[in-house]
């Protein structure tokens, strides 16, 4: 039951899906929330996949309209929570100030020019990748679309626990305080189950899954160093920005796979 409640807390905090019940916010349940980050990602990815399949097979709409529906769903489902982090982090990062000043900039509710420009680039790139993937769609595409947020949420969990916090306040710090030494052990188990099922049911998908794993690991190594050097540690905004950045890189990976592997 605590696992299910942890997942519900995820849905309350990180999506716009209405969960109209009061959930316990003690350490035991928050730890389960971290453990179910990838499950949250699967739910999100499953919605994307259903939208793509439904629009392509049950409506007369063009590929452009389908791509727009998926692109928009990514904003609506998350309520823009991670995009807000992306903009705040971009404003701070591109200010080229010291770490303390960057943290102050992220705390400012106003959005600057760098935040606006960076979110335009991010969303434009994502739309391009989604549109071309839809145009080159094949049966394996649906699986990888579903797995995209699974991997980005896994990156979010690892960064949350492996990178020191920049300040002792905020939602990220609250979650981190609830974690235990073995909290992340479940993540490689998720990966092992995924690879095992793919090896038995759809072995042709293993190369794509391997590419997603490699990209996610590379992003992790890069961000772990960059976050410390640029901000002195993790904040909620930086964590949100990391999710958005990871997802767009995974969309790009899937886009490239369609051209050079799945075409």
pLDDT tens digits, the chain, 263 residues: what are they? 778 988 999 999 899 988 888 888 888 889 999 999 999 999 999 999 999 999 999 999 999 999 999 999 999 999 999 999 999 999 999 988 888 889 888 888 888 899 999 999 999 999 999 999 999 999 999 999 999 999 999 999 999 999 999 887 777 778 888 888 889 999 999 999 999 999 999 999 999 999 999 999 999 999 999 999 999 999 989 999 999 999 999 999 999 999 998 86
The span from the CA of 257 to the CA of 195, in Å, is 18
End-to-end Cα distance, the chain: 44
pLDDT at 173: 78
**CA torsion angle for 101, 103, 109, 112 (degrees, to 10)?**
60
pLDDT at 3: 85
pLDDT at 22: 86
Select from 46, 14, 33, 1 the least CA-distant residue to 177. Answer: 33
Select from 217, 109, 98, 245 the least CA-distant residue to 166. Answer: 98
Beta strands in the chain (DSSP E): none
C-beta of residue 166 within 8 angstroms of C-beta of residue 231:
yes
Select from 44, 46, 89, 34 the least CA-distant residue to 231. Answer: 89
φ/ψ bin of 96: left (φ > 0), alpha (ψ from -120 to 50), beta (otherwise): left
Task: Specify the pTM.
Answer: 0.96
pLDDT at 110: 84
> Strand, helix or coil at 165?
strand
pLDDT at 100: 87
Cα angle for residues 139, 204, 208 (degrees, 5° grid): 85
């Amino acid at each position: 039951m605590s696992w299910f409640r942890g997942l519900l807390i995820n849905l309350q905090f990180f999506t716009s899906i209405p969960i109209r019940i009061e959930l316990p916010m003690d350490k035991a349940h928050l730890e389960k929330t971290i453990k179910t980050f990838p499950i949250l990602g699967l739910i999100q990815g499953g919605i994307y996949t259903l939208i793509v399949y439904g629009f392509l097979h049950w409506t007369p709409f063009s590929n452009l309209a389908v791509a727009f529906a998926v692109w928009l769903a990514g904003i609506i489902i998350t309520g823009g929570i991670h995009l807000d982090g992306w903009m705040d982090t971009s404003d701070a990062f591109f200010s080229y100030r010291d770490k303390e000043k960057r943290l102050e900039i992220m705390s400012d509710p106003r959005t600057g020019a760098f935040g606006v420009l960076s979110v335009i680039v991010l969303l434009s790139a994502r739309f391009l990748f989604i549109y071309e993937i839809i145009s080159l769609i094949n049966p394996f595409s649906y699986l990888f679309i579903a797995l995209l947020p699974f991997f980005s949420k896994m990156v979010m969990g690892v960064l949350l626990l492996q990178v020191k916090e920049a300040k002792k306040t905020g939602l990220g710090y609250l979650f981190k305080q609830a974690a235990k030494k073995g909290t992340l052990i479940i993540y490689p188990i998720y990966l092992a189950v995924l690879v095992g099922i793919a090896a038995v049911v759809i072995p042709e998908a293993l190369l794509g899954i391997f590419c997603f794993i490699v990209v996610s690991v590379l992003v992790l190594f890069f961000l772990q160093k960059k976050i410390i050097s640029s901000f002195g540690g993790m904040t909620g905004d930086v964590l949100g920005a990391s999710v958005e950045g990871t997802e767009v890189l995974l969309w790009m990976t899937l886009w490239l796979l369609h051209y050079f592997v799945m075409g």
